[in-house]
Structure 1
């Protein structure tokens, strides 16, 4: 089986997660919600980020012929109706985790609505709205209009808050480059509660260096921060006012992770030229935002990798490092059979001390990053739909992002 055929298997498995792990009871208040993962603790816990990726996955499924357009339309419309009518929210922002059956916030985890997870949800809503149009578009529009982005805007610091409650107000800040570029796109383009375009200038751009690679990143540097916004917005030929191309930045960050794995393979048998990818995932000691190369507050090397590799890290970078990512795909499929499941690759593995540990589940956001990036690698499917949206076009203009040709 060649690499492209293996990729197709992984994409189908990823799609199946979103299709099969959703609430399919049309009479349930939580119809269309998608589990955070397929582990025991995920039975009643839905993730709105999973739903965002899952909505876009519907488009991939129809495009591939895995489901009919009528089936996709029904699931997409029903899901958006759930969020408009039933899902618990605060100022239009939804809670990271919801009860799969009731669509109420999952009290065990979060007491504040999530700006980043709401943004992921809206990205998925925009994708299906552009694909199906009609009533699906109308519900996306109503959901987007209701979100009050100003509630998450710290005007004094010119930053987004990370959390908000009616009792506390805003707290925490998105103060460095991470996965939040989508928040600037959606926030400045809001037709009802827009934040000023200058917010994009508010976060720190901390330049990291590893060997020959330079890139902006968070200190702990899990690879997902370089991928999530890119799953929808096509940054490849776009530069901002400072000349930054975020696509090129993700290329450098991805290549740096591969080089880091090569450089440290004597310490961890998991690592190597075709075995790399550090990101937030399950590990032997629980869930952790693994990242490499990582840095402390003084921009000096910091250890944040412990032998755990997640397939979604390299596969989520397939648009940035296609050959390298496909080599990882082939290696994992052919040489680690324990990593394969009904939904494609399991979340992660660790071979420290030559004792193979493999995650027991898949996680929605990880399957989503893999699926959407693979679809963009193959045809630009999700990029084309998202970039044609009028709000996204408006945001590009307001942020003074300029399209270039390479």
Structure 2
């Protein structure tokens, strides 16, 4: 019987360090903005910037960055966002305490006529609150971090973001007003609602959370009963910051599990789907999975081994209903580490040692690969591999490796009064939350 290989702790730490280097290399140090992806003249992503803010404390603890350098970078970021122009003008940085999804790396103004994004703003503000929880010294710079992070969080007008509806909208633009889509159905908006409910200034009403959970889909797939969301990242992103193990809202109390267990089941379902491989893609197996929102080799249609295959570009790939074109994302495997290390470590070993997805790369894993698509002739991988790294992929790798090894980010946020308040107003009870300081 073949012995299963698993990634060793020292290899995890090396992956974490190489991945974190993205935030050192793809940054405007003057304003702290982090580039969305490694393409020439590309814009910054506020989500990637929020993830960077959460990663700096990890980097200090792991010796990747000196504390004073992390303080300086964090302050530059928070000062920029606090002073940046807020208002309805189409070239502002934000409005009503929220921020545009993409910003010009140099000026910090809105890029590409993008939307004012509630989820990406939540990720940015969660990163700021992580920094505030970690940088707790009495010296002036660290005091200023705490002051600015709290002020930024308090400025967000979550009630406005509802646009007089029961749930929260995806965002707004000066040209078209509120986006017609709302956060409904289980997904990464778990963080949006907890952050919005915890606000001391413009809190979401508790009814908004009940309205959201009323749109959930509970399913039975491949023998796993779970709260459905297709892309793997939707089972991870809120968990980067909040430890949902042992705490339950009304929905999960009725089901007899918690959101952490739900993510564990979703991770196993990914592996099961890869083993079943209903669409017969190359490479899928027990140690090769990870279907999520990601870059892809399309749009293209190719006839391969007698089968007509359609390939997509960036799309929210999901399990078990698709879309699925054979594209896998190693970062999403790494971000599942706290939920199911017994299968994730084996899959990471495959990504590193067999697929060799860290070779020829600056920042750990590339964003995605597709064993079915041949890629460009003569490419070193033998199949299509994304040419890019994305900041929003890099952050969860760093942070979830750390939560697996030390639960640092979870410990910090368990002490954040805004998060504690938001969870309690959402109806969460039990576990560590029963002992949390209400602030």
Alpha-carbon distance between aligned partners in 2 of 1:246 and 1:124, rounded to the nearest angstrom = 21
1:11 and 2:11 equivalent? no
User: In the alignment, what sits opposite 2:223?
Assistant: 212
Q: Work out which of the two has the higher radius of gyration on C-alpha atoms and give 1 or 2.
A: 2
Asked if structure 2 preserves the Cα contact closer than 8 Å seen for 1:44 and 1:101, the reply is no
1:91 and 2:126 equivalent? no
Q: 1:395 aligns with which of 422, 425, 430?
A: 422
- For the residue of structure 1 that corresponds to 2:315, the secondary structure is strand
Structure 1 residue 306: deviation in Å? 0.8
- For the residue of structure 2 that corresponds to 1:129, the secondary structure is helix
1:159 and 2:167 equivalent? yes
Alpha-carbon distance between aligned partners in 1 of 2:125 and 2:39, rounded to the nearest angstrom = 26
| Residues 191 and 333 (structure 1), Cα distance of their counterparts in 2 relative to 1, 3 Å cut | same
Q: 2:353 aligns with which of 320, 323, 334?
A: 334
Q: TM-score, normalised by structure 1?
A: 0.91
1:79 and 2:92 equivalent? no
1:252 and 2:257 equivalent? no
Alpha-carbon distance between aligned partners in 2 of 1:101 and 1:310, rounded to the nearest angstrom = 30
Alignment of 1:209-288 (within 5 A): 209-218=220-229, 221-242=230-251, 243=253, 245-264=258-277, 267-285=280-298, 286-288=313-315
Alpha-carbon distance between aligned partners in 1 of 2:123 and 2:56, rounded to the nearest angstrom = 15
Structure 1 residue 38: deviation in Å? 1.2
Using the TM superposition, name which of 231-240 and 282-291 deviates more: 282-291
- For the residue of structure 2 that corresponds to 1:123, the secondary structure is helix
Alpha-carbon distance between aligned partners in 2 of 1:216 and 1:356, rounded to the nearest angstrom = 34
Which blocks of at least 5 consecutive residues in structure 1 are unaligned?
295-302
Asked if structure 2 preserves the Cα contact closer than 8 Å seen for 1:162 and 1:174, the reply is yes
Asked if structure 2 preserves the Cα contact closer than 8 Å seen for 1:6 and 1:333, the reply is no
Alpha-carbon distance between aligned partners in 1 of 2:358 and 2:64, rounded to the nearest angstrom = 23
- For the residue of structure 2 that corresponds to 1:161, the secondary structure is coil
Asked if structure 2 preserves the Cα contact closer than 8 Å seen for 1:3 and 1:329, the reply is no
Asked if structure 2 preserves the Cα contact closer than 8 Å seen for 1:49 and 1:117, the reply is yes
The alignment of Structure 1 onto Structure 2 pairs a total of residues equal to 385
Alpha-carbon distance between aligned partners in 2 of 1:304 and 1:374, rounded to the nearest angstrom = 28
Q: TM-score, normalised by structure 2?
A: 0.84
- CA deviation profile, 1:275-322 (whole Å, cap 9, x unmatched): 00001111101212111112xxxxxxxx31111110012111111111
Using the TM superposition, name which of 159-168 and 241-250 deviates more: 159-168
Asked if structure 2 preserves the Cα contact closer than 8 Å seen for 1:265 and 1:271, the reply is no
Q: 2:368 aligns with which of 348, 353, 357?
A: 348
Which blocks of at least 5 consecutive residues in structure 2 are unaligned?
1-5, 86-92, 137-142, 299-312, 375-381, 433-439
| Residues 389 and 348 (structure 1), Cα distance of their counterparts in 2 relative to 1, 3 Å cut | same
Alignment of 1:2-401 (within 5 A): 2-24=7-29, 26=30, 31-40=31-40, 43-86=41-84, 88-106=93-111, 108-110=112-114, 112-133=115-136, 134-156=143-165, 158-165=166-173, 168-170=176-178, 171-203=180-212, 204-218=215-229, 221-242=230-251, 243=253, 245-264=258-277, 267-285=280-298, 286-294=313-321, 303-340=322-359, 341-352=361-372, 356-401=383-428
Which has a greater percent of strand?
A: 1
Alpha-carbon distance between aligned partners in 1 of 2:127 and 2:171, rounded to the nearest angstrom = 21
User: In the alignment, what sits opposite 2:89?
Assistant: none
Structure 1 residue 370: deviation in Å? 1.2
| Residues 91 and 2 (structure 1), Cα distance of their counterparts in 2 relative to 1, 3 Å cut | closer
